[in-house]
Chains A and B, each alone.
Chain A
Amino acid sequence: MTDVTVKIDGQDVTVPEGTLVIRAAEEAGIEIPRFCDHPLLAPVGACRQCLVDIPDAGNGRGFPKPQASCTIPVAEGMVVETQNTTAVKAQQGIMEFLLVNHPLDCPVCDKGGECPLQNQAMSHGQGETRFEGTKRTFPKPINLSPNVLLDRERCIVCQRCTRFAAEIPGDPGIALIQRGAQQQIGIAEDKPFSSYFSGNVIQICPVGALTSDDYRFRARPFDLVSTPGVAEHDACGAAIRIDHRRGKVMRRLAGNDPEVNEEWISDKDRFGFRYAVRDRLTSPMIRENGELRPASWLEAVAVAAQGLAGAGSVGVLPGGRLTLEDAKAYAAFARDTLRTPHLDFRSRPLSEEETGFLRSRVAGTTVTYADLDAADHVVLVGLEPEDEAGTLFLRLRKANRAGLRITTLSPYASEGSRKLGAQVVLTAPGAEKDALSQVSGVTEASVILVGERLATSPGAYSAAAELADRTGARLAWVPRRAGDRGAVEADLLPGENGLDAEAMVRAGLDALVIAGVDPDDTADPAAFLAALDQAGFVVSLEQRVTAVTERADVVLPVATASEKAGTFVTWEGRRRPFEKVFDKPAAYSDAEVLGHITAELSLVGPESAGVADETVVSSPTTTDSAATTTDSAGFRLATWRLMLDNGTLQSGDKALAATARPAFVRIPAALHAELGDVVTITGDRGSWTLPALPAEMADSTVWVPTNSFGRGVWADLASPGSTVTVEGAQ
């Protein structure tokens, strides 16, 4: 692309052809006031605040009228004046108009102090208004969604929110209604604005018109301390800004990282933070006479060390939410301190095939968001980005709108796939291996993205690797949790003769060290809980009371992401370091707690600690076998987690929960026509009667959200890879 040089306020600026004048001015450090303009949204030219004088359009002739610099591209030789009499008169005139109907209630407005309208009225306005009339009024506020509220009096109808919704997540649902001064943002009757990314409209609102139920009236921006952070809810590594006051998080905002999340985050990243203050463990506990009692750190660490030293075989299950630093500490703790090979971060259905895949095809590799933009074709397998990786979803959607071809191997044609413009290859769970061998149009410029669900689909990981090898395409693994990739990098996987997480559950080890694992997430929750009961000694490193801490012999509270510094590794392999937000005296990271135990163990006598018991039989993991021995009359069970569900890290965020999409079972349209809107699904672990929607689905498949009902699919309905029966509800 060729460069052009323009003169802005007397300064020569050279920018690529096609650059908008307002962007070129930014390059020169000249700020033109603006409201509707947003660099990540298509130009609209609605607010007219960015008017400038262009005495020479590059052809020797000037524009007779001031021009909106947000819609006019630069031209070679163009002369732009942003601060001459014409421009200033135009800008001041527009600012005065904008304030005609604005309530000027800045002293009680949430946006006051960080408001583009307030700030630019001061910098580019006249100071005094000449308007002496009646302002238009509206009842206020009104709900656009359970969490997003609209004050129509403050709104300057710049359309940033409606454009965001339509362009970025593809969730139109808010739109302009009425006209003239009555023009306002509205929703259809009984159809609240529904988007996993709705909070972004609040952040980009240039006035205080959009507020969240979650944050409104809770703080003033100038009372908040801001700390940059990294979102802990998925493996995307979205940059966030944590605004806090007196040791409490008041809100979280999207950070600006053009390489990762640009300026957008999911609602979960924005509103999901109260888990860190609910049901927290406040002190170490030890079990005495069958009951847990609070203990000092010294005592608890000593008891933990003694228990582990005395155990014959120890398994370590550190979960997938660790920082890279903590993950490395667990690796060292298991291998060097306990000298046990029984180590596995996976707290969900897994397979031996996956263990090999993670070591050989994931660890140490890099595929970036930018690689997706540059790709000619992206193939998704076992991955629903809209639910499981919000930032990835937005980046893929953006790339698709710029022409990227996307193919998804999915059990049903989801709304998310439609928004991605993806070609859906209907693929029953378990059939991914065969489907992958038939995907066409994959070249060395393509990217294959595989999700962790493929662990329950025999041969799928290998088929993806084979496809990549055959075509030269790049391959990346997109897990769900923020610490999953870091755990792979730290090799938190079974060592030589080591047991994987599922084998550990079956093996009956003497002692277990468990951190951040919810038994209901595992392939066999009942077996997991039984293993805890059977184990002679259980050490639990946890943030809050869980089914594990209730069964543990020693409970050691650990810091949440905001209470420690650390690094998350994104699905790309990108390191995302973050700093500590709160410096709390007794909040120790997992690594620090492990350090204390290690120190104590060296006193107790390391020679006795954690030598792998020869009696442990390393039986192969058989998760897959269920799928091969099913009743052919049943339906294959497809499942993944909705972004907003019963997840632990969402607990306590009521406003967020209220925006969750209603959870439905998806069944083939023909079956829906037969059975109706409510069905009873029965699997080998239980039965659920749930509302169902028809969908374009793979043959003989039903889809159930993993963790939206009861204790979740694995605990209450069926085992991974199994089949279920579906009947009409009585």
Chain B
Amino acid sequence: MTDTLTPVLTANWGDERAWTLPAYAATGGYDALDVALGMAPEDVQTMVKDSGLRGRGGAGFPTGVKWGFLPPPDPENPKPRYLVVNADESEPGTCKDIPLMMASPHTLVEGVIISSYAIRAERAFIYVRGEVLHVVRRLRAAVREAYEAGHLGTNIHGSGYDLELVVHAGAGAYICGEETALLDSLEGRRGQPRLRPPFPAVAGLYASPTVINNAESIASVPAIVKNGADWFAGMGTEKSAGVGIFSLSGHVKRPGQYEAPLGITLRTLIDLAGGIREGHELKFWTPGGSSTPLFTQEHLDVTLDFEGVAAAGSMLGTRALQIFDDSVCVVRAVLRWTEFYKHESCGKCTPCREGTWWLVQVLERLEKGQGSPEDLDLLLDQCDNILGRSFCALGDGATSPITSSIQYFRDEYLAHLEQGGCPFDAKKSTAWAEAVQ
């Protein structure tokens, strides 16, 4: 059954003051914590591994396996272990962690406590994107409530387990969503990706063994502990188990977060969202944020799981489904994304730093109809020189919209040249287009 919604993380979002501890507790919140504390940490790890939960931050690495990479506790080297939650949600289109933390921060906090217990960490950090101050405040309030209720601090629920949780606000850099840049930033340094090895599991935060997981991954843990690994693994597909939040934005009638088993299709999701904007048709969409190659109408029935999307030539990413209808100029959209990558390039490596600077200039030329057909080949070659050459995956991501848009919409690029400018009326793609007319 992949065509119905399965609210797990989002189940309580509509509740009255869902973000408060009493509201969360009323729905059985922090019950899973007792279950976990009654188990050996290794058994919690095994449970998460068996559930098939894969990283919800985009890469899809199995969460339980990642935890298993921590070196076994060594009395000779008593370095602390850390859990770091990556909540630096900054990808254009990605909008799941922030609403989750806004609506039900305790889900994440409970997940942090259980996960920290599972990996034997006594200090955990949530690194939240700095611009979302309202979320930071709500999360801090939740953490305060959790401390006061004895869910955090020393001897949690009488188990003898201690945990300190710090909510850290970033300073507004896309790169700090990259896990090693996040660690540098968390340590108070300039956020730029680190050389690996050593991997964070061995020498991460403060050179100590560290697990870094996406907020949604960690928030999924309480439900798994409460309902069992089999329950979670029973949803989704064989290799992409469980449920996830699909964020629909753009030209659908009811944009928002739709929680469904992995393997659902966009066709189903668009139906759930009330369909494409009246009088228009789907033109292109991103399956997992701006860093994943674009899809078109022909991909409506691609199953949205890691394998299905990859087989169709893109990536499931963060399930950030940005829907663009036929009023949108793809060149314009791609240029805006590329401007984002140029603005957010951290500057560490040459291809991303210089490449995005140059890509924007070529795209600007094309959008104004001032380029030449050869510029498309130039763009593709620039992307070829960035993809797989940059220090981290962010440089790779910058090329995705360009190469995929040229693949599917080469004629539209050429139309700009033929007409000496953009053939679209940008006003028609706005939300207030109807009102204008």
Q: Which residues of A contact B (CB under 8 A)?
A: 43-49, 51, 64-66, 71, 89-90, 93-94, 96-98, 100-101, 130-131, 133-134, 136, 156-157, 175-176, 178-183
Residues of chain A with a CB closer than 8 A to B361's CB: 133-134
Interchain nearest-CB distance for A436 vs B (Å):
35
Chain B residue at minimal CB-CB distance from A43? B195
A180, B195: Cβ atoms under 8 Å?
no
Residues of chain B with a CB closer than 8 A to A175's CB: 190
Residues of chain A with a CB closer than 8 A to B362's CB: 133
In whole angstroms, what is the CA distance A585 to B364 when docked?
67
B389, A66: Cβ atoms under 8 Å?
yes
In whole angstroms, what is the CA distance A46 to B384 when docked?
18
In whole angstroms, what is the CA distance A51 to B395 when docked?
16
Q: Which of A44, A176, A178, A180 contacts B344 (CB under 8 A)? A: A180
Q: Which of B349, B357, B378 contacts A48 (CB under 8 A)? A: B349
Chain A residue at minimal CB-CB distance from B196? A71
Which 10 A-B pairs rank lowest in CB-CB distance, beginning with the nearest?
Answer: A183-B347, A93-B385, A65-B388, A133-B361, A97-B354, A180-B345, A181-B357, A100-B354, A179-B347, A97-B350
- The answer to whether B409 has its CB under 8 Å from any CB of chain A is no
In whole angstroms, what is the CA distance A51 to B378 when docked?
21
- The answer to whether B129 has its CB under 8 Å from any CB of chain A is no
Q: Which of A47, A97, A176 contacts B385 (CB under 8 A)? A: A97
Interchain nearest-CB distance for B149 vs A (Å):
41
Chain A residue at minimal CB-CB distance from B354? A97
Interchain nearest-CB distance for B351 vs A (Å):
6
Chain B residue at minimal CB-CB distance from A136? B357
A101, B354: Cβ atoms under 8 Å?
yes
Q: Which of A89, A90, A98 contacts B354 (CB under 8 A)? A: A98
Interchain nearest-CB distance for A167 vs B (Å):
14
Q: What 10 new A-B contacts, CB under 8 Å, besides A89-B384, A134-B361, A157-B347?
A: A48-B391, A51-B389, A66-B388, A93-B385, A94-B351, A94-B389, A97-B350, A100-B357, A176-B190, A180-B342
B357, A45: Cβ atoms under 8 Å?
no
Q: Which of B195, B346, B348, B355 contacts A97 (CB under 8 A)? A: B355
0 or 1 for each of B388-413: is its CB under 8 Å from A? (1 = yes): 11110000000000000000000000
Interchain nearest-CB distance for A103 vs B (Å):
14
B residues 338-371 with Cβ under 8 Å of A? 342-351, 353-358, 361-362, 365
Chain B residue at minimal CB-CB distance from A177? B190
B residues 218-264 with Cβ under 8 Å of A? none
Residues of chain B with a CB closer than 8 A to A176's CB: 190, 192, 347
A180, B346: Cβ atoms under 8 Å?
yes
In whole angstroms, what is the CA distance A136 to B386 when docked?
20
**With A130-B378, A133-B358 as contacts: A94 and B385 at CB distance below 8 Å:** yes
B351, A48: Cβ atoms under 8 Å?
yes
Q: Which of A93, A101, A134, A179 contacts B389 (CB under 8 A)? A: A93
In whole angstroms, what is the CA distance A48 to B388 when docked?
11
Chain B residue at minimal CB-CB distance from A70? B195
In whole angstroms, what is the CA distance A101 to B353 when docked?
10
B391, A46: Cβ atoms under 8 Å?
yes
In whole angstroms, what is the CA distance A48 to B350 when docked?
6
Residues of chain A with a CB closer than 8 A to B378's CB: 130
Q: Which of B190, B353, B385 contacts A180 (CB under 8 A)? A: B353
In whole angstroms, what is the CA distance A178 to B190 when docked?
10
A179, B346: Cβ atoms under 8 Å?
yes
Chain B residue at minimal CB-CB distance from A42? B195
SS class, residues of chain A in contact with chain B: loop
**With A47-B350, A97-B355, A100-B358 as contacts: A180 and B343 at CB distance below 8 Å:** yes
A90, B391: Cβ atoms under 8 Å?
no
The count of A-to-B residue pairs whose CB atoms sit within 8 angstroms is 97
In whole angstroms, what is the CA distance A647 to B317 when docked?
65
**With A130-B378, A157-B347, A175-B190 as contacts: A181 and B388 at CB distance below 8 Å:** no
A48, B342: Cβ atoms under 8 Å?
no
In whole angstroms, what is the CA distance A93 to B173 when docked?
27
A183, B353: Cβ atoms under 8 Å?
yes
Interchain nearest-CB distance for A645 vs B (Å):
35
Residues of chain A with a CB closer than 8 A to B175's CB: 179
A94, B357: Cβ atoms under 8 Å?
no
B385, A96: Cβ atoms under 8 Å?
yes
Chain B residue at minimal CB-CB distance from A180? B345
Interchain nearest-CB distance for A32 vs B (Å):
15
Interchain nearest-CB distance for B417 vs A (Å):
16
Residues of chain A with a CB closer than 8 A to B192's CB: 176
Residues of chain B with a CB closer than 8 A to A47's CB: 349-350
Residues of chain B with a CB closer than 8 A to A157's CB: 347, 353
Q: Which of B195, B343, B346, B350 contacts A156 (CB under 8 A)? A: B350
Q: Which of B342, B347, B350, B381 contacts A98 (CB under 8 A)? A: B350
- Which of B346, B353, B357, B390 neighbours the largest number of chain A CB atoms within 10 Å of its CB? B353
In whole angstroms, what is the CA distance A157 to B348 when docked?
8
23 residue pairs A–B, Cβ–Cβ below 8 Å: A45-B349, A45-B391, A46-B348, A46-B349, A48-B351, A49-B350, A64-B388, A66-B388, A93-B381, A94-B350, A94-B385, A97-B385, A98-B354, A133-B365, A157-B353, A176-B190, A179-B175, A180-B344, A180-B353, A180-B356, A180-B357, A181-B357, A182-B347
Chain A residue at minimal CB-CB distance from B341? A180
Interchain nearest-CB distance for A74 vs B (Å):
15
Residues of chain A with a CB closer than 8 A to B354's CB: 97-98, 100-101, 181
Interchain nearest-CB distance for B262 vs A (Å):
25
In whole angstroms, what is the CA distance A134 to B357 when docked?
9
Residues of chain B with a CB closer than 8 A to A97's CB: 350-351, 353-355, 358, 385
Residues of chain A with a CB closer than 8 A to B391's CB: 45-46, 48
Residues of chain B with a CB closer than 8 A to A64's CB: 388
Interchain nearest-CB distance for A355 vs B (Å):
51
Chain A residue at minimal CB-CB distance from B193? A45
Residues of chain B with a CB closer than 8 A to A51's CB: 389
Interchain nearest-CB distance for A67 vs B (Å):
10
Residues of chain B with a CB closer than 8 A to A93's CB: 351, 381, 384-386, 389
In whole angstroms, what is the CA distance A128 to B190 when docked?
35
A101, B357: Cβ atoms under 8 Å?
yes
Residues of chain B with a CB closer than 8 A to A44's CB: 195
Residues of chain A with a CB closer than 8 A to B381's CB: 93
In whole angstroms, what is the CA distance A134 to B360 when docked?
11
**With A131-B358, A134-B361, A176-B190 as contacts: A181 and B345 at CB distance below 8 Å:** yes
Residues of chain B with a CB closer than 8 A to A156's CB: 350
Interchain nearest-CB distance for A117 vs B (Å):
12
**With A94-B350, A100-B357, A181-B354 as contacts: A48 and B390 at CB distance below 8 Å:** yes
B357, A90: Cβ atoms under 8 Å?
no
- Which of B344, B347, B361 neighbours the largest number of chain A CB atoms within 10 Å of its CB? B347
B residues 183-199 with Cβ under 8 Å of A? 190, 192, 195
Chain A residue at minimal CB-CB distance from B391? A45
In whole angstroms, what is the CA distance A181 to B192 when docked?
14
Q: Which of A45, A66, A90, A134 contacts B195 (CB under 8 A)? A: A45
Chain A residue at minimal CB-CB distance from B175? A179
Interchain nearest-CB distance for A364 vs B (Å):
46
